[in-house]
């Protein structure tokens, strides 16, 4: 089996990954030889610290071995070899492949020719399913559940692939999502249309035409039968988040504030985008505001100015823990996808 999209896994399989990750965390000694004799190929056509190295560490901790494709300039890709041919070769050299590619379709196109399992470690701006599993695992460790949470996802929703996978998984487990795009980096229409198609009874979108720091707030409601808040009320909440509060926001208060970096620099952007609203930043004032005085702070990293280092010791910061959790989740994935542990 391959993991290209988070939707390649059923809810049951997602829970299995998280359960196994927890077992590995608690009893690492029970797993340390299970992948003896297996080889993982790390095939990264884009830079990575957490994903690539945590997969490598995960494989080594389970007793397996790792080959890295390394610098592209030193491979036959630089002589014009196609990605398909590269994957065909690696198929013979490894038992499982982790692939990050700048083109959205590259990993999708090779899944039918690969004899070994492929794990998508980020395909263009599309998805990053293993990050979503890491995020979901972090959320479950915090709240001891996977549903009925209010999650604010903020930042580059257009190009940030981590949030695309996370949105699917949050909706599938009946969580409420507030989307706060940085500038005009909202979800693109195709993605929103696909959400409407996949979850016809569950998804609704709302728009806040506010000009505050969190200038546009969309909400995805998993409940059938949209629970409507008046635009007046929503507007007041939106203002409260940024300025000061006289209203708690009731049961719509967020449990998680998930921030992402501006992908500018990673992807080409429209020149006009430079002139859009400033990118949101998590500030101490924001975290003390009534709407945001409870949520944990998550971020897939690497960060930019949206997540100041002054927050690293904040009692609600969880982003380094999130990165650490990547190890256990990826160990679990390797064991399951290599069929060494039964699903
Ligand atoms: N979160 C994440 O994908 O980080 P890397 O780009 O360092 O792998």
CA 47 / ligand 1 centre spacing (Å):
8
The residue to mutate among 42, 58, 134, 301, having the most atoms of ligand 1 within 8 angstroms of its beta carbon, is 301
In the structure, what pLDDT confidence band is assigned to residue 251 with cuts at 50, 70 and 90? Answer: low
Q: What is the mean pLDDT of the chain?
A: 82
Calculate what percentage of the chain has a pLDDT beyond 70: 80
Average pLDDT value for residue range 195-205: 67
d(CA 259, CA 293): 15
CA 300 / ligand 1 centre spacing (Å):
7
Of the listed ranges 15-29, 54-68, 230-244, 286-300, the one predicted with least confidence: 230-244
Over residues 14-36, the pLDDT tens digits come to 999 999 999 999 999 999 999 99
In the structure, what pLDDT confidence band is assigned to residue 71 with cuts at 50, 70 and 90? Answer: confident
Over residues 72-101, the pLDDT tens digits come to 777 888 888 999 999 999 999 999 999 999
What count of other Cβ atoms lies within 10 Å of the Cβ of residue 5?
A: 18
Ligand 1 atom with least separation from CA of 47: 6
**pLDDT of 237 over the 70 cut:** no
Over residues 109-140, the pLDDT tens digits come to 999 999 999 999 999 999 999 999 999 999 99
Q: Is the pTM of this model over 0.85?
A: yes
Q: What is the pLDDT of residue 178?
A: 77
Ligand 1, residues at Cβ distance < 6 Å: 48-51, 128, 131, 300-302
CA 126 / ligand 1 centre spacing (Å):
14
Long-range CB contacts (< 8 A, 24+ apart) of 186-191? Answer: 186/157, 186/158, 186/216, 186/218, 187/157, 187/158, 187/218, 188/158, 191/164
Q: What is the pLDDT of residue 184?
A: 67
* Atom 5, ligand 1: residue with shortest CA distance: 48
Q: Which residue from 195, 204, 135 is spatially nearest to 176, judged by alpha carbons?
A: 204
d(CA 85, CA 79): 12
* Atom 3, ligand 1: residue with shortest CA distance: 51
CA 265 / ligand 1 centre spacing (Å):
15
Residue that wins the pLDDT comparison between 235 and 46 = 46
């Amino acid at each position: 089996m391959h993991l290209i999209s988070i939707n390649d896994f059923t809810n049951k399989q997602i829970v299995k990954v998280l359960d196994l990750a927890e077992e590995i965390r608690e009893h690492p000694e029970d797993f340390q030889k299970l992948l003896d004799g297996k080889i993982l190929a790390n095939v990264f056509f884009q830079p990575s610290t957490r994903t690539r190295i945590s997969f490598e560490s995960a494989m080594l901790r389970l007793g397996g071995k790792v080959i890295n494709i390394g610098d592209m300039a030193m491979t036959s890709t630089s002589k014009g070899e196609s990605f398909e041919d590269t994957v065909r070769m690696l198929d013979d050299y490894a038992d499982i492949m982790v692939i990050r590619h700048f083109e959205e379709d590259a990993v999708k196109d090779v899944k039918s020719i690969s004899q070994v399992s492929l794990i998508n470690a980020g395909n263009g701006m599309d998805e990053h399913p293993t990050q979503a599993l890491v995020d979901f695992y972090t959320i479950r460790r915090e709240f001891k559940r996977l549903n009925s949470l209010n999650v604010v996802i903020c930042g580059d929703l257009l190009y940030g692939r981590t949030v695309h996978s996370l949105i699917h998984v949050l909706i599938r487990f009946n969580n409420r999502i507030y989307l706060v795009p940085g500038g005009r980096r909202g979800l693109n229409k195709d993605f929103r249309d696909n959400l409407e198609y996949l979850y016809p009874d569950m998804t609704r979108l709302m728009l806040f035409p506010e000009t505050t720091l969190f200038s546009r707030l969309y909400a995805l409601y998993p409940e059938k039968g949209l629970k409507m808040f008046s635009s007046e009320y929503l507007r007041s909440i939106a203002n409260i988040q940024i300025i000061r509060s006289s209203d708690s926001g009731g049961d719509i208060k967020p449990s998680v504030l998930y921030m992402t970096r501006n992908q500018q620099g990673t992807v080409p952007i429209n020149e006009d985008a430079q002139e859009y609203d400033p990118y949101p930043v998590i500030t101490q004032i924001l975290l003390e505001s009534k709407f945001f005085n409870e949520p944990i702070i998550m971020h897939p990293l690497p960060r930019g100015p949206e997540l100041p280092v002054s927050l690293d010791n904040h009692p609600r910061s969880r982003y380094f823990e999130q990165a650490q959790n990547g190890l256990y989740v990826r160990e679990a994935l390797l064991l399951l996808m290599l069929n060494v542990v039964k699903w």
